[in-house]
Every structure is written in structure tokens, then in C-alpha cells.
Amino acid sequence: DYEKYGVYDMQDKQALFRLIQSIGASESATPPLDDRSSLDCHPIFMAPDPPKIRVIVRKRPLNRKEEERGDSDVLECDCATSTLYVNEPKQKVDLTKFTERHTFRFDDVFGEDVDNDALYCTAIQPLISTIFRRGKATCFAYGQTGSGKTYTMQPLPLRAAVDVLSVLSTPDFHGVGLHVSCYEIYGGKLFDLLNARNKLEVREDGKRRVQVVGLREVDVHDVDVLQQLVEHAAASRSTGSTGANDESSRSHSIMVFALRNGNEPKRPVVGKLTFIDLAGSERGADTYDNDKQTRLEGAEINKSLLALKECIRALDSDARHIPFRGSKLTEVLRDSFMGKAARTVMIANVSPCSSSCEHTLNTLRYADRVKADAALDAELSALMAAEDELVAAHRQHIEDSMAHVREEMALLGELDGGGAAGDVEAYAAELTGLLAEKAAAVAALQLRVTQFRRLVQTTLERHARAGSGAGQQ
Ligand SMILES: Nc1ncnc2c1ncn2[C@@H]1O[C@H](COP(=O)(O)OP(=O)(O)OP(=O)(O)O)[C@@H](O)[C@H]1O
Ligand SMILES: [Mg+2]
């Protein structure tokens, strides 16, 4: 867990060096609260620390109805290289048909043969150690109606609860409890899915923390209780039917696992895991629908999905202003996204049907924007580390130069004190050596500056390319 020691990027050599130094210095010191040895060999804590944002794509299989109507599969997954190919059927103006092939790369690409369990182990389980290290983790599913968001998200809390409860049963977490709540955002309003769809308000407390007022929280000690809560929440959710899904979710559903410490009523949250099953991304585009209710739902969903994208983009580029107020969804997620220990997994769900190709491409482009920015973020932090190194080298150069000046003055002093021809020769030889040392130091610094400027140039060029939207091919 490098972050706890101030290393947020494995390329950051200075931070790594400081860590090595501090390990030597603190061998006799007591370990930090969250790094107790009995947990180090717990399987959940052995998983690698997840990146700040991880984007994965999941393709669902063609269903019988789609096969019967002759819909073809346009998606090819190459899991080994985390690449997804979309073979988009197209038509030229002269009506001849052709296929346009699009290539997308993500952190993970899961084909139809990957089941919920495997997805959990690869993508979600690493988040468990995050929440036990006082972090906030968020996992959300994005995609068009019928693409498999609810199918993917619904089993995840159950799998996660098994792991969370197993860690909570260790003596290290005595007094910490799992508290589960669930609500939906429908038409910009919040409804408690564990308490008779009670309407909920969002407020900011004195410490500028967002609170969902009146939300019911249930203490969960075993998985069966959670199973009942998940079923209850699913039954309370607003659903309708779409062409692609008879049981279509018309809202964003949010399930929160809060780890609370102590016994007093307002126990502090020490870790948080949030699961979000978003409403279908195509709803915003349903402008041709005559039903006023559906149109209003669509507009609201569209607004929140755009706001979500803007927030993730802003977060990833470490922007000063993050537009959380853009929607209710982003407002309630503000606390989960903030802070160095925040981790997000985005699952982009896609349908393989040729008839869904346009929506699939939209989903992948949405996901790709998030991914592109994550790569850029790593480059920018490498640039900042290089800048730190250059400044440190410059400081060192100044110190060395001052030492050189002192040596030169001493040399002159020796010459003024003597005056014999031999001494002049020795003086000239020593001065030559000193000047060569100075020239070598200047050349080394010059080389560093040149390399740094080249790095700035390439990073800026890549930044400009990403900004011009060249995410997909
Ligand atoms: N990976 C999968 N394997 C098998 N069946 C799947 C898979 N993903 C989805 N399905 C099936 O496809 C149908 C639609 O899935 P789901 O309800 O999860 O869609 P959704 O993305 O939540 O849609 P909506 O936005 O309309 O709520 C369901 O019947 C579900 O069981
Ligand atoms: Mg759904």
C-alpha cells in the first residue's frame, strides 16, 4: 500500500526514494493503525491496490429473441490484450454494404463467457482493501437498456458482503460494523428503497459533507440479511419496459456499504463502498417518444450521465473545480469521489447486437473518454515528478557551484601567498581541473533541461491530441 507512504505513482522516483529512506529510519517505530500484521496475510489485503479509475467493458451474449430475428454479433473481445473490436455494418451512398471496424482498449474487456463471479474477483474485490484502509470505493455500471447493467450489479453487493464480513470478523476490526442503505434517484428526487420509498432530502452538513437525510441504514451481520435487502430494494425500484428489456430500470439505484466505528448513534464512517446501477444511457436520446413522463425521465437521466462524465474527467485531470452540482447523482456521489484514497471502477455494459451498434459505440466512447484521461493523468504526474527532479538537480548544482567558487578563491589565496614559477604551474593545473569540473556539471544540467523540455513537449502534444477527441479509431 504505497499511497499510505506518500507514493501515488510508481514512476515517482523521489517519493519512492523517500519511502526507502523512511523504512530505514522507522524500523523501530510502531506500524500505522491500518497496517496490522495479521491483515497483511489476509487474502483480500494481498490483492494489488486498484488504480484511481479502472474502466472495464462487459459484453453480454445474444439472447434467443435476438438470434431468432437474425441479429448478428458485432463485437469481438480479445481479453488477453483488453481490446474490443466493433464491426459496424454500414452502407455507402450507392447502397453497397461494408463493415467499419472500430478498436477500443480498456483496463479489462470481459466477453460473454465471463461470469459474475469472475468479474467480481477481478474488478471489485480489490476495492475491499481500499475501504478497510479508510478509503471510498465506487463501482458503477453504464450502458444502454438491456445491456446487462442490473444483471452485472445486482450480485456484486452479495459477493462483497461475504468479503467485508470476513474481514470484520478479525480482531483488528472489533467495534466496526457494516451498515447498508439503498436508494434510487428518479426524476431528480431520492427515494429510500429499504423504507417504503420514503422521499429523501440531500443536505450539506457544517463540514460541507453531503448527507442524505432520513435514509434508513440496516446493520448487516450476515449475508442472508443482505440477500433480503437486495431483493427488497430491487422490488421497490421504479421499472418499466423497453423494447430491449421487459424489466427496465428507470432510475439510478445506489447501494451503500458504510463501515462505521464505535457505538454512539452518529458513528463515524471509516470506509465506504458504493454500487450504482445507472438508468439506461439511451434514455436521454429518446426525444421522439410522445410520452411526456418518459421524455422528462430521459432529460433528467441525460443530464446526470453527462454530469457524471464531467466529474470523472475533472477528477482525473485533478481540476480545481469539479462540477458536482450538475445533477443530484453527482451531488450525492461527491464525498465518494473526493480524496486521495477514492477508487472508482466503471463497468461499461454492451449488447452484441448489430441493431444496437450505435448505442454500443456511444457507450464505448463515453468509457473511452474516462480511460483516455486516466492515461493522461499518469503522464502528467510523471511530468511533475520530472520537474521536481530537475529543480532538485538545479539546487544541487548551485550548491556545487558555490563550493567551486570557494575552492577557486582558496586557490587564488594560495597563489597570492606564494609566487614561485612552480606554484604558478600547479595553480594553472588545478584551475584547469576545477574549470573542467564546472563545465561537466553545467553540461550535465543542460542535458537534464533538454530531456525535461522534450518530455514537456511530448506530453503537451499528447494532451492536445486527447483534447481534440481522438480517443477512438
Ligand atoms: N452477461 C449476461 N449473461 C446472460 N444474460 C444476461 C447478461 N447480461 C444481461 N443478461 C440478460 O439480459 C437482460 C437485460 O439485462 P439487464 O436487465 O441487466 O439490463 P439493463 O442494462 O439493466 O437494462 P435497463 O437499462 O433497461 O435497466 C436480462 O434478462 C438479463 O438476464
Ligand atoms: Mg437495469
The DSSP line for 377-412 is: HHHHHHHHHHHHHHHHHHHHHHHHHHHHHHHHHHHH
Model confidence pLDDT, tens digit, residues 410-461: 988 888 876 555 578 888 999 999 999 999 999 999 999 999 999 888 877 7
Model confidence pLDDT, tens digit, residues 4-38: 666 677 777 766 766 666 555 444 333 334 444 55
CB of residue 247 inside a 6 A radius of ligand 1: yes
Q: In which domain, by residue range, is 412 found? A: 383-467
145 is in an annotated binding site: yes
Residue 312 inside a domain? The answer is yes
Pair (187, 325) in one structural domain: yes
Distance (angstroms) between ligand 2 centre and the Cα of 153 equals 9
Residue 218 inside a domain? The answer is yes
Boundary-marking domain end, from 374, 399, 421: 374
Pair (399, 284) in one structural domain: no
Q: Kindly write down the DSSP assignment for every residue of 44-69, as one continuous string.
A: GGGSPPPPSEEEEEEEPPP-HHHHHT
Counting the structural domains of the chain, the total is: 2
Residue 399 inside a domain? The answer is yes
Pair (211, 238) in one structural domain: yes
**How many whole angstroms separate alpha carbon 112 and alpha carbon 362?**
20
| CB-based contact 206:183 (threshold 8 Å) | no
- Better-scored residue on pLDDT, 334 or 419: 334
Closest atom of ligand 1 to 349 CA is: 21
Asked whether residue 470 carries a pLDDT value surpassing 60, the answer given is: no
Residue 7 inside a domain? The answer is no
Boundary-marking domain end, from 341, 374, 407: 374
pLDDT for the residue numbered 338 = 76
Asked whether residue 323 carries a pLDDT value surpassing 80, the answer given is: no
**How many whole angstroms separate alpha carbon 316 and alpha carbon 336?**
14
Boundary-marking domain end, from 323, 352, 374: 374
Residue 123 inside a domain? The answer is yes
Pair (294, 422) in one structural domain: no
Pair (141, 269) in one structural domain: yes
pLDDT for the residue numbered 118 = 94
Pair (66, 141) in one structural domain: yes
How large a percentage of the chain has pLDDT more than 90?
A: 47
Residue 144 inside a domain? The answer is yes
Q: Cell numbers of 245, please?
A: 428489456
**Alpha carbon 264 to chain centroid distance?**
33
Q: What mean pLDDT do residues 371-393 have?
A: 77
Q: Cell numbers of 404, please?
A: 567551486
122 is in an annotated binding site: no
Pair (364, 387) in one structural domain: no
Q: Which of 95-109, 235-249, 388-402, 418-432 has the lowest mean pLDDT?
A: 235-249
Distance (angstroms) between ligand 1 centre and the Cα of 151 equals 5
CB of residue 349 inside a 6 A radius of ligand 1: yes
CB of residue 284 inside a 6 A radius of ligand 1: no
Residue 370 inside a domain? The answer is yes
pLDDT for the residue numbered 383 = 80
Model confidence pLDDT, tens digit, residues 37-46: 556 667 777 6
pLDDT for the residue numbered 256 = 96
Asked whether residue 63 carries a pLDDT value surpassing 90, the answer given is: yes
The mean predicted confidence, pLDDT, of the chain is 83
Pair (208, 335) in one structural domain: yes
pLDDT for the residue numbered 26 = 45
Pair (366, 388) in one structural domain: no
Residue 12 inside a domain? The answer is no
Pair (209, 333) in one structural domain: yes
Which residues are registered as beta bridge partners of 22? none
pLDDT for the residue numbered 457 = 86
**How many whole angstroms separate alpha carbon 255 and alpha carbon 136?**
13
What CATH number does residue 331 fall under?
Answer: 3.40.850.10
Q: Which of 48-52, 56-60, 356-360 has the lowest mean pLDDT?
A: 48-52
Of 100, 118, 65, 154, which Cα lies nearest the Cα of 351?
65
Distance (angstroms) between ligand 2 centre and the Cα of 144 equals 9
Distance (angstroms) between ligand 1 centre and the Cα of 351 equals 9
CB of residue 135 inside a 6 A radius of ligand 1: no
Pair (363, 422) in one structural domain: no
Pair (337, 443) in one structural domain: no
pLDDT for the residue numbered 163 = 94
